Amino acid sequence: MENFITGYPGHESQHRTAMKKVLGPEKYEFFFDRWLEYFFTEADAKFFAGLGLNCIRIPFNYRHLEDDMNPRVLKESGFKHLDRVCSKQNIYTILDMHTAPGGQNGDWHSDNFTSYAAFWDYKDHQDRTVWLWEQIAARYRSNPWVAGYNPLNEPCDPEHVRLPAFYERVEKAIRAVDPDHILWLDGNTFAMEWKGFDKVLPNCVYSIHDYAVCLPSHFPVSYTLPRNKR
């Protein structure tokens, strides 16, 4: 639930807090359940299939599956919409933890309103992330339509060495539960840097995010077009 999508400033957790105060708990739960339902629908799956795509990356916030005030207690309700989108129209899904406990980077898309990537300085954030991936892997290990797992989206470790070490740790933990699914491992500094990566882990894809092709000078669609024409 990123601000460039919603059109409102702030971060997802801030949006949710503000809306809960206005709507009240019951209407708040109803609204966000519907929001997630329409985030990816059968019509979207048909559209992607019509483009010839056979795999998409589904982002999720760890807060759907665990509560900061009740850590290491799995919220089964958080799987409701992930379960629903897997295998629609014969499209594979990559499960992408877009927001990890503490924030794996300091930007808005990790729902980090402090701008401080505390994930790297507090072991408990990393422990909880590993625990969550063990739960996720246990649920989807036999699902043939899950192409794999993306443990961290666009991490930013200023020391560079902690990210490869974390990947080694989470890879072992996931493999103990699910030895088959592919892991998508983003590079450091928003998936653009590979300093400190001196070991290749088995059955892993090393992912780079190159946004240069999306700059206005390279993008084939004019940003002045109406939204429905883009």
What one-character-per-residue DSSP string does 120-136 give? GT-HHHHHHHHHHHHHH
| pLDDT score for 68 | 93
Q: pLDDT at position 217, please?
A: 58
Q: What are phi and psi of 76, to 5 degrees?
A: -60, -30
Q: What pLDDT, on a 0 to 100 scale, did the predictor assign at position 230?
A: 45
CA distance linking residue 99 with residue 118, whole number of Å: 12
Q: Which residue has the tokens 């625990």?
A: 131
Instruction: Note down pLDDT in tens along the chain; length 230 residues.
Output: 677 677 777 788 888 899 999 999 999 999 999 988 888 888 888 899 999 999 999 999 999 999 999 999 999 999 988 888 777 788 999 999 999 999 999 988 888 888 899 999 999 999 999 999 999 999 999 999 999 999 999 999 999 999 999 999 999 999 999 999 999 999 999 999 999 999 999 999 999 998 777 665 555 555 455 555 54
Return the pLDDT at 224: 55
Angle among Cα 88, 12, 4 to the nearest 5 degrees reads: 80
Which residues contact residue 144 at a Cβ distance below 8 angstroms, ignoring those fewer than 6 apart? none
What residues pair up with 209 in beta bridges, in sequence order? none
Helix (H, G, I), strand (E, B) or coil at 143: coil
> Distance between CA 43 and CA 161 in Å, rounded?
43
> Residue 12: its pLDDT value, please?
85
Q: Which residues contact 82 (CB under 8 A, 6 or more apart)?
A: 58, 60, 95
Q: Which residue's structure tokens are 């790297």?
A: 120
Tokens for 154? 């666009």
Angle ∠(38,3,96) on CA atoms, nearest 5:
60
What is the DSSP secondary-structure string of 175-200?
A: HHH-SSSEEEEEPHHHHTB-TT---P
CB 183 within 8 A of CB 171: yes
For residue 214, the tally of other CB atoms under 10 A from its CB is 8
Q: Which two tokens stand for residue 41?
A: 């629908």
pTM over 0.85: yes
Distance of alpha carbon 96 from alpha carbon 149, whole angstroms: 6
